[in-house]
Structure 1
Amino acid sequence: MKAEFGDYLKQLREAKGLTINHLATAAGISGSQISRIENGLRGVPKPDTLRKIAQAIEVSYEELMEHAGYLPQQAPSSVNVVPEWATSKDKRDFRKMLEDDGELMFDGIPLDQEDKQRIKDVLTGLFWEAKQMNKRKQQKNDPESNK
């Protein structure tokens, strides 16, 4: 992943006509750090560093986060579908999980509606996956159960 991200960053930088030093100065990070990222000698940067690079190179932060592996490339198309095996209690638990509409933030910055929806989509998939795993464990521990 780190070499792939480095190649991607280099292509972006070159497409914008920036040198390593120009990007480093604009992002407020060292040129050697940019060079190590591009050459795969350094791991994928932290989200805070990605935010600085995104602003400096004038690409969306989300795009860099996706290419860095922090966000899924594309949300699964079935995330909003309730599995057939879900009971009414499972559905109630799911609704309760999504009811909390507190302010979602990342690095102290409130998320816009699109980002909130992406997070809900990911949480939806994880929720149903966890429920299914839990049901399998229950069936394994209690083979006579028809739940």
Structure 2
Amino acid sequence: MEQPAFGTYLKQQREHKQWSINQLAEAAGISNSQISRIENGLRGVPKPSTLRKIADALSVSYTEMMKNAGYWGEDDSVEQHSHDSYRSNVPEWATSKDRWDFKKMLEEDGELMFDGIPLDKEDRQRIKDVLTGLFWEAKQMNKHKPKSPPAGSDQE
């Protein structure tokens, strides 16, 4: 999934805005060293949630950012991605049950609201992007925890 040209793309977008690495880092809320490593090809393509921060900071299309990062093909859209995102960015260690859990979480598509106002498609996608990163981090952390007996059992 890694695109060697993504660092070049990111640098072009940053320079088009006439920003330094430090300015982009501050605006996106990520470290300047991370941006530098991405631009110089020393780090792989960031997670979708990080790409969202960079796209928002640079005022560029998140869809274009995801396409250039290699997450989406030319025919993908935010709408299609929201249905297919359980397939992308799945860690190698994920079991079929992990993938099923993730797919189920994304498909539970009730109306999301903030202060009683329904969120639009773009805001819902942002939330899904953040949840994607958090879901896989939590799954990985839980795989490294020792199994404890269920609450209420007399095993100690």
Match of 2:109 in 1: 103
Contact 2:67 2:74 in 1 (8 A): yes
Change (3 A) 1:4 1:104: farther
Q: Which amino acid aligns with 1:103?
A: D
Distance 1:24 1:9 in 2: 12
Per-residue deviation at 1:60? Answer: 1.1
Q: Which amino acid aligns with 2:74?
A: Q
Distance 1:3 1:104 in 2: 37
Match of 1:68 in 2: 69
Instruction: Give TM-score scaled by structure 2 length.
Output: 0.49
Contact 2:3 2:70 in 1 (8 A): no
Match of 2:4 in 1: 3
Match of 1:41 in 2: 42
Q: Which amino acid aligns with 2:121?
A: L
Contact 1:27 1:53 in 2 (8 A): yes
Which string of whole-angstrom CA distances, capped at 9 and with x for unpartnered residues, describes residues 28-52 of structure 1? Answer: 0000000000001000000010000
Match of 1:22 in 2: 23
Instruction: Give TM-score scaled by structure 1 length.
Output: 0.52
RMSD over aligned Cα, in angstroms?
Answer: 2.5
Structure 1: gaps of 5 or more residues: 76-100, 116-147
Identity %: 58
Runs of at least 4 residues off by over 4 Å: none
Structure having the higher helix fraction is 1
Largest Rg, 1 or 2:
1
Aligned pairs, how many? 85
